[in-house]
């Protein structure tokens, strides 16, 4: 099931997407609940899915991020594909490189909720703050059932579904500060979408993630090549941290980010970044210079 958060006539709704008919059928839920996006479905406390109303043409709605304002920071995993771990270690911006290119344990950081924007929204860059803006195409996990001390064997029981995230990063700020939050959490630096899919519809073993900048293919990898798989990530995070429904975990990016080129291929105003994941869809955002 594909579930979209969208707006029509200034009103936010949540509904089931039908790609064959290019339509979305809104759930019959109060407008105030729909403000939460997909999170509204995860907080129904076992009540089941609400009924749907008459479908609307996708062309007539504006897609929002699946969870427009997450309740907590987005959890992220750094250096989680082997080739990317090596390219980042060589870049000179990796504060963890002293421990080796390949991490022994998952590297966890976060992005603030307010950095989330939808597909087709602008990613705003401010040259007075950073001149080294990079892209990172990633699969994101959406937690459906909370828990603490979750075992790897039980991890998928806690997964509701998946979406796409572009972990936009200010590399100069990432290198300047030992913690990555500032460089990762600039306003609009977490494009998410175009919608979410339930875990039963996603072929994790065979799906690939790709990133294009102005139709130039930069990243292309099987998601199954993660260093730390999804059960390991969930188990690691939940050791002492209680995961909650609606938590989002970006699982890491493959080789091909801008910092990996010589010279680096940073994003600039006017660039169009497109992230694709098989079975989910396409997340597309234009880079725009912020007007002071």
**pLDDT, tens digit (0-9, with 9 covering 90-100), for 35-84:** 999 999 999 877 788 999 999 999 999 999 999 999 999 999 998 988 77
Q: What is the pLDDT of residue 76?
A: 98
pLDDT of 92 > 70? The answer is no
pLDDT tens digits along 121-142 = 999 999 999 999 999 999 999 9
Mean pLDDT within 220-241: 97
pTM of the model: 0.95
Confidence bin at 102 (pLDDT 50/70/90): confident
For all residues of the chain together, what is the average pLDDT?
94
Mapped to the 3 state alphabet, what secondary structure does the chain carry? Answer: CEEEEEEECCEEEEEEEECCCCEEEEECCCHHHHCCCCHHHHCCCCCCCCCECCCEEHHHCEEECCCCCCCCCEEEEECCEHHHHHHHHHCCCCCCHHHCCCCCCCEEEEECHHHEECCCCEEEECCCCCCCEECCEEEEEEECCCECCCCCCCHHHHEEEEEEEECCEEHHHHHHCCCCHHHHCCCCCEEEEEEEEEHHHCCCCCCEEEEEECCEEEEEEEHHHECCCHHHHHHHHCCCCCECCCCEEECCCCCCCHHHCCCCCCCCCCCEEEEEECCCEEEEEEEEECCC
């Amino acid at each position: 099931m594909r579930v979209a958060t969208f707006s029509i006539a200034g009103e936010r709704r949540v509904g089931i997407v039908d790609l064959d008919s290019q339509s979305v059928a809104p759930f019959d839920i109060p407008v105030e609940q729909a403000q939460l996006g997909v999170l509204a479905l995860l907080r129904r406390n076992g009540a089941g899915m609400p009924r749907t109303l008459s479908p609307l043409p996708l062309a007539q709605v504006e897609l929002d991020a699946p969870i427009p304002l997450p309740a907590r920071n987005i959890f992220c995993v750094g250096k989680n594909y082997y080739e990317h771990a090596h390219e980042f270690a060589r870049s000179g911006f990796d504060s963890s490189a002293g421990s080796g290119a390949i991490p022994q344990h998952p590297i966890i950081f976060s992005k603030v909720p307010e950095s989330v924007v939808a597909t087709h929204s602008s990613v705003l860059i401010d040259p007075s703050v950073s001149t080294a803006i990079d892209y990172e195409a990633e699969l994101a996990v959406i937690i459906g059932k909370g828990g603490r001390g979750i075992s790897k064997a039980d991890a998928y029981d806690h997964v509701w579904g998946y979406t796409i995230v572009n972990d936009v990063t200010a590399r100069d700020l990432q290198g300047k500060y030992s913690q990555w939050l500032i460089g990762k959490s600039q306003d609009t630096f977490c494009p998410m979408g175009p919608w979410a899919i339930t875990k039963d519809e996603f072929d994790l073993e065979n799906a690939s993630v790709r990133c294009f900048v102005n139709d130039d293919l930069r990243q292309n990898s099987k998601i199954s090549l993660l260093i730390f798989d999804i059960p390991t990530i969930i188990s690691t995070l939940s050791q002492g941290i209680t995961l909650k429904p609606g938590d989002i975990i970006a699982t890491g990016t493959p080789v091909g980010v801008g910092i990996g080129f010589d010279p680096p291929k940073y994003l600039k105003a006017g660039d169009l970044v497109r992230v694709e994941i098989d079975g989910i869809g396409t997340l597309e955002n234009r880079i725009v210079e912020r007007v002071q």
